[in-house]
Amino acid sequence: MSDDKISTTALAKLLEVPVQQLFGTLKDYDWIRKVSDGWVLTPKGEFEGGEYRTSKRYGRYIVWPVSLEQHAMLRALEDNKMLSAAALGQPHRLSGRAVNRILAELGWQKRESHGWMLSPRGQQQGGVQMENRQSDMLYVLWPEAIIDDAVLTQRLREAGMASENSAAGDLFAENEGLVSIDGHQHSSRELQQICQWLYLAGVLHATNRQLPVKEPLKADFFLPLNQVFIDFWAADATPTELKAQMRKAELYKMQGWNAIELHPEDIAQLDDIMPRQFHKFGVKFS
């Protein structure tokens, strides 16, 4: 490739905008169009200097003159930068998946089988519906000004402070109590984080639920729609608490009940662990 031609991905980095936003803009301005196996140039795109290159790794792709960085249309794009869910979550140490669930809770988007669909309320907030050019999955980009929205900022702050183990998070817990954003109270930070994950994933759940036995044994969480019990095995459990946990595990096995065990090392990986566990029991979540 000649030095004055760069890929669309490289051009997006130069402009400091999400690559999918750039692809969407080029499509909207009729410089490129989508076909079954990727993107092709239009006459307008060719006029602006777009060309094809081929590599063994990526196949055929489009390149552009570096000078397009100064193009009036693309400069306007840079001035109206859009943010992904992952970018919104970075200041609060939240994953893109966690932020997407918070945006859904606000009613700004809705989970569909092929991604996240922008809602009318999300449109009012300036959200833009996007589609991944490789996977065809839908997602939403948000205007940079959205970070000034007081309601969103508060929700992100609550979720971030509940999920981190920093001194600031501990102070928050001490001042406000271990209450997850759905209002449930908890005896430990780990239970608070699990509850919050379930709520934001749209999973109906009860907390501290008595098992269907005469013994005074309670599951930390119970999912009534799929009859799944969830228990957290705390590292600092007392002998009495450990005995109760072991008895519950025995009952789950004897009765053939659906059960999920979580341990301290799992808390930081709930986004990876819970979907795998839920798949085994047919639990639907967002």
| pLDDT tens digits, one per residue of 80-110 | 678 889 889 988 888 888 899 899 888 899 9
Q: CA–CA separation, 205 vs 223, rounded Å?
A: 5
Q: Is the pTM of this model over 0.85?
A: no
Of the two residues 176 and 53, the one the predictor is more confident about is 53
Token output for 152: 């969103």
Q: CA–CA separation, 38 vs 58, rounded Å?
A: 11
Per mean pLDDT, which range of 112-121, 166-175, 202-211 is the poorest? 166-175
Token output for 108: 């700004």
Q: CA–CA separation, 105 vs 156, rounded Å?
A: 12
Q: Would the pLDDT of 71 be above 90?
A: no
Q: What is the pLDDT of residue 2?
A: 46
Of the two residues 166 and 280, the one the predictor is more confident about is 280
Q: What is the pLDDT of residue 203?
A: 92
Of the two residues 285 and 77, the one the predictor is more confident about is 285
Contact 180, 199 (CB under 8 A): yes
Mean pLDDT of the region 260-278: 93
Q: What is the pLDDT of residue 135?
A: 67
Per mean pLDDT, which range of 27-41, 145-159, 166-180, 191-205 is the poorest? 166-180
Residue from 217, 207, 198 nearest 98 by CA: 198
Q: CA–CA separation, 53 vs 275, rounded Å?
A: 39
Q: CA–CA separation, 225 vs 156, rounded Å?
A: 28
Q: Would the pLDDT of 261 be above 70?
A: yes
For 75-88, give the secondary structure using H, E and C: HHHHHCCEECHHHH
Q: CA–CA separation, 193 vs 268, rounded Å?
A: 9
CA distances to 87, 121, 180, 182 from 198, in Å: 22, 24, 10, 10
Estimate the share of the chain in helix, then strand, then coil, as percent rounded to the nearest 5: 45, 25, 30
Mean pLDDT of the region 251-259: 94
Contact 102, 89 (CB under 8 A): no
Q: What is the share, in percent, of the chain residues with pLDDT greater than 90?
A: 42
Q: What is the pLDDT of residue 109?
A: 93
* pLDDT tier for residue 173 given thresholds of 50, 70 and 90: very low
Mean pLDDT of the region 111-124: 90
- pLDDT, one tens digit per residue, over 2-42 is 458 999 999 988 888 888 778 888 887 889 998 877 889 99
* pLDDT tier for residue 165 given thresholds of 50, 70 and 90: very low
Task: Report the chain's mean pLDDT, rounded to a whole number.
Answer: 85
Mean pLDDT of the region 186-194: 91
Q: What is the pLDDT of residue 222?
A: 94
Q: CA–CA separation, 238 vs 235, rounded Å?
A: 9
Mean pLDDT of the region 119-137: 83
Mean pLDDT of the region 39-51: 92
Q: CA–CA separation, 87 vs 19, rounded Å?
A: 13
Q: What is the pLDDT of residue 231?
A: 97
Q: CA–CA separation, 64 vs 46, rounded Å?
A: 9
Mean pLDDT of the region 172-185: 67
Q: What is the pLDDT of residue 205?
A: 93
Q: Would the pLDDT of 242 be above 70?
A: yes
CA distances to 73, 101, 214, 236, 250 from 244, in Å: 65, 34, 14, 14, 10
